């Protein structure tokens, strides 16, 4: 059971070789200045896309000319969030799952699926990850949720209707949070702090996300 009152980090650790979207460059983190080699200070160079590890998608990720991640409203990332657990083994998260859980306007929803049982960030990319289908995305858009978070690298499926799912959500003003580690998080109500980096005009950004049971 998740302990109340304690902040829990649900962002995955960033490291060289971390699993990433196929076709994207492999993340690398290397010292370009090293005190062990006589330098005055240690300095690390980070090479990765904006969609590495736990990250947020900005509207301009799939909609040309729309808002970048630097325009992310801070209040959207801080406040009440609800963790919903999808039936074990289910790959498709459809409108039925959201309807059964009584999703309402203005909510921050975090989905715990079968992905959370795999420690996915320690393995190769899984093309069969659980995700939201087109009907689920449309339900969230109509319901008027504020933010949707998922426990893999994409809110939509790989090479299926993933792009459509993104566009439906982003067009409705829903901010997307991807790559969460919900392994030890029980379903229920939480306080959440989620802050992406303020990268001007970027289509996304890594984020640190913490939860506290209400």
Beta-carbon count within 10 A of 63 CB: 14
Residue 194's Cβ-side half-sphere holds a number of Cα atoms within 13 Å equal to 34
Q: Which of 55, 61, 123, 166 is catalytic?
A: 61
In a 3-state reduction of DSSP, which class is residue 96?
Answer: helix
**pTM of structure:** 0.96
Pick the CATH number of 7-213 from 3.50.30.50, 3.10.290.10, 3.40.50.920, 1.10.1040.10: 3.50.30.50
Q: Which residue has the tokens 């909510």?
A: 107
Residue 79 pairs in a beta bridge with: 192
pLDDT tens track for 55-98: 999 999 999 999 999 999 999 999 999 999 998 889 999 999 99
Residue 107's Cβ-side half-sphere holds a number of Cα atoms within 13 Å equal to 21
User: What stretch of H or E contains 47?
Assistant: strand 43-47
Residue 209's Cβ-side half-sphere holds a number of Cα atoms within 13 Å equal to 32
What ranges do the domains of the chain cover? 7-213
pLDDT tens track for 96-118: 999 999 999 999 999 999 999 99
Note the maximum CA span of the chain: 61
pLDDT tens track for 106-160: 999 999 999 999 999 999 999 999 999 999 999 999 999 999 999 999 999 998 7
Strands 175-178, 55-57: pairing is antiparallel
Residue 207: phi, psi to the nearest 5?
A: -140, 150
d(CA 155, CA 149): 8
Q: What is the pLDDT of residue 1?
A: 62
Beta-carbon contacts of 145 under 8 Å, excluding residues fewer than 6 positions away, are 103, 104, 105, 106, 107, 108, 109, 174
Q: Are 172 and 141 in contact (CB under 8 A)?
A: yes
pLDDT tens track for 162-188: 999 999 999 999 999 999 999 999 999
Q: Are 193 and 78 in contact (CB under 8 A)?
A: yes
Is 51 an annotated catalytic residue? no
């Amino acid at each position: 059971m998740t302990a109340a009152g304690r902040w829990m980090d649900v962002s995955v650790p960033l490291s060289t070789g971390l699993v990433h979207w196929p076709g994207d460059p492999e993340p690398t983190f290397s010292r370009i200045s090293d005190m062990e080699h006589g330098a005055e200070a240690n300095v690390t160079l980070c090479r990765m896309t904006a969609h590495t590890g736990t990250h947020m998608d900005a509207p301009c990720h799939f909609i040309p000319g729309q808002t970048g991640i630097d325009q992310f409203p801070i209040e959207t990332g801080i406040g009440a969030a609800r963790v919903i657990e999808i039936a074990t083994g289910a790959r498709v998260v459809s409108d039925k799952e959201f309807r059964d859980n009584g999703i309402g306007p203005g909510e921050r929803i975090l989905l715990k699926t079968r992905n959370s049982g795999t420690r996915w960030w320690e393995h190769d990319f899984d093309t069969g990850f659980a995700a939201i289908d087109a009907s689920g995305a449309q339900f969230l858009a109509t319901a008027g949720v504020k933010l949707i978070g998922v426990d893999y690298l994409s809110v939509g499926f790989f090479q299926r209707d993933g792009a459509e799912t993104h566009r439906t959500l982003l067009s409705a003003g829903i901010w997307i949070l991807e790559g969460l580690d919900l392994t030890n998080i029980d379903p229920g109500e939480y306080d959440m702090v989620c802050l992406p980096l303020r990268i001007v005009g970027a289509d996304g950004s890594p984020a640190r996300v913490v939860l506290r049971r209400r």
